Every structure is written in C-alpha cells, then in structure tokens.
Amino acid sequence: RHRKCSEGLPAGFGSSSSERRLQHIPVLMHRLPRSSAIAATTMAGSLRSQFQILGRRTAAAAPRRTASNEAGGEQEEKVQPPPWIVPLPKTVKIVEVGPRDGLQNEKQNVPAHAKIELINKLSSTGLSVVEATSFVSPRWVPQMADASEVLHGIDRKKGVSYPVLCPNMKGLELALKNEVEEIAVFSAASESFTKRNINATIEHSLKIFEPVVSTALKEGLKVRGYVSCVLGCPYEGYIKPSAVVDVSKSLYDMGCYEISLGDTIGVGNPGSAVAMIRAVKEEIPVDALAAHFHDTYGQALVNLLAALQEGVHVIDSAVGGLGGCPYAKGATGNVATEDVLYMLAGLGVETNVDLRRVMEASAFITKCLGKPSHSRVANSLWRRGSRVRVSFHYKEVLATACADGTVTGSEKALIEQYRLRHNIGSEEHNLALRALGWTSAQYQRGYK
C-alpha cells in the first residue's frame, strides 16, 4: 500500500543499489518508533530530491547532437549549465565587522594600536567597508572606549568606508567630531533582547534613532541599519518573519540605505533564512538588504548561500570568525571572512578581496588575542601553506623587472596587477625577492 520511493525518478535509476535500499524505507518504518519514522520519512524525501537533482544534471550534461555533427563530424554543441541551482549575484560586497562587532565581546583589553593595525591591514585587502568602532557607553562596552583614538590613528584609504555604530545623539556628536562618513544604528526583532541590549522597547528604540538618522542624513552621512535576532532570540526563541519586517521597514523608511539582517545567536537554517528574507523582500528592495549570520550551529555558510539565491548581494563577516554578543549567552562568532571568500570564489562570485591578505590580518589579530582563528579555511590553508612555494612564472616576472637593479613605479604597478590576478601573497612575493637577491626594503625604495 506504500508508494515506492523511486516513483517519479528519472529512467535508469531503478537498478541502482542506493535506490533499492531507498525503496525499503517505508517498510522498515513500521518497525521504528514514531520519532525515528519521521526522521526516516525526511531522509527518504531528501534522498529522492537528490536523485531528481542528479537526474536533471545528468540529462542536462548529456551532449546534444545536431544535424551538422551527425553529417560532418563537427564538435558537439555546448550545453548550458543545468538549471539545478538558482542564479547567483555576479558580485558581492563584503562588510568586514571584525574590528567592531568582532572585538566588542572580547574580555581581555585589546589596545588601540592593535585595533589600528588590524584596520589598516584589512584596508589593504580590497575590502570596501571595514566597520571601525562604536561610540557607545564605555561602562557597557569597555572594549570600545578608545573609539576616537582608533579613528584618529588609522590610515583612511580612498575607496574604503569606515562606519561606526551610534546608538544615540551623544554617539552621533562624537562621530561627527571624528569626521566619520557613515554610521550605523541597531534594533532587534525581539522585545526581550532589545530591553536587555539598550534598555528600551522596540518602539522606544526606533524613536531614539529617528533624530540620530535625520541629523546624520542632514550632515551628509550615510546610515546603515542593523536588525538583531531575525531568526531566533536567546530569551524568546522563535521570531516571526513579520516582526523582522516591521523593524526593518521602520529603519528603511527612516532613511537607512541598507538593512543588515542579523542571526545574532546563529540558530537559523536555510529554510528559516529564506522564509525571513522573502517576507522582508516584499517590503524592502533586496538590493538594500545584507546578511549577517553567526556560526553557532555551523549553518552560516549554507544560510548565506540561501540568501544569495534570494538575491542578497551584501554579506557581513568578521576576520577569523571573531565575535559574539554580550547579551546573547552562548552565541559564537560571526561567520569568518576567509570562509565566505573561499565559498564565493568557488561559486565564481567576484568580491575583489585578496584572501591571503585577509588571512594575514586574521593571523595578526588572533596572535594579539592569544587564541586560534575560528576560520576553517584559514587554518587549513596555513597548515598546507606553511611550505610556500614560489611560482616559477612569478619569479620570472620579478627577474625581468629587477634585471637592471632598479624597479620603476610603473613596473611595480604591473607586478601588483599580476599578484592580484594570480593570488600571489606577501610571503610568496618576499620569497621570490630573496631568491633574486633583493630585500623587501630594496624593492620598496626601487633599487638595490
């Protein structure tokens, strides 16, 4: 009386051993407890979906024969990639939140000079946004007490934005004194979290932000809005998408050009993430949305992929997976910037960010903190890359430029383009220089 689980599968799959095992699942379910039977049903559905996807991929990958190649031996027609995955954005903007959101929860004091060095290193990676600090009460967030010192100490690079968090008018006044160009305000989709975080209801918090946003806009500043707890709250549990929509729309209507949707405690999964984003998209253009996912349950990357498939093309991440939340017990760090870059590179999505340089910045700050990086990609590549080998072609390029004992500015520019194109990191570059008898200092000044 049970339908075969293989019903509706592409032809040719009925004889596989995997599918024969799949057909027995409904029979075996009679012998399982209810909870196990539900799990088995879910597994059967999942496997059926995978077989169907594989069938479509197999069919799409089969070469199409045309009259021309039947007759005369021309090459087979190229087939477009199978439509088994939703098209992704061609480019993604990475918003690096490590120096602010990543460090604010660290118990040990991080000196201002270390924060300045971290921001300067991140500025040289190709990132267009590096969230620098926040003007909040040092009593509540002592890690950010040196905000003015940090902003005065960094080398502001052209084309890079350094937003700061401002929860109230006092914070905005300090931000304006420090000549910032962009600020951020924040609320949450959870009443309980908002009360714990800023000691106000959601409605009251939005009223506090209204003069902050309007004044900032009058002063020519850009304003970004954060919404926390969009997929779950440490105090209330499940959060309805409609609650996220209400807060997000309020911030957007105030004048926030971008709304960052934060899974503060990292409990979301692709299903809940898609449902939430689709609800928000009905009220706010998807181009004005950003995904800010923590990795507590190891779901951040798959949630980001789901967000990309929904059209979101801005991602918040933190170098080395830094972060947490002082008001969300048990929440681990943000998704690691290195892991996001690795995934996007594999998907063919452009970011214009140099992964190796991000890893160097990550190594710097984790050494300052005396703790390992939370980036799986960085840890794997450092283990594998501890034996860096110099590309023969890159060595030839350098040898040509340095042949007469000098390196001109135009030659350095060409070398830099080659490094970016072929992902030549600083370590490999310095090894190549040493092999040619040059030091890094000699190269920088342009002669031996």
Active site residues: 325
CB within 8 Å of 312: residues ≥ 6 apart = 89, 277, 286, 289, 290, 291
What are φ and ψ of residue 289, in 5° steps? Answer: -110, 150
Q: Which two tokens stand for residue 419?
A: 């490094």
385-389 own/partner pairs: CB under 8 Å, 24+ apart: 385/427, 388/425, 388/427, 388/428, 388/431, 389/428
Distance separating alpha carbons of residues 4 and 20, to the nearest angstrom? 10
- Tally: H helices and E strands in the chain: 19, 9
428-434 own/partner pairs: CB under 8 Å, 24+ apart: 428/388, 428/389, 428/390, 428/391, 428/394, 429/394, 431/388, 431/390, 432/390, 432/391, 432/394, 432/395, 432/398, 433/398
Burial class (CB in 10 A: 0-12, 13-18, 19+), 382: middle
Burial class (CB in 10 A: 0-12, 13-18, 19+), 254: middle
- The one-letter code for the residue type at 91 is T
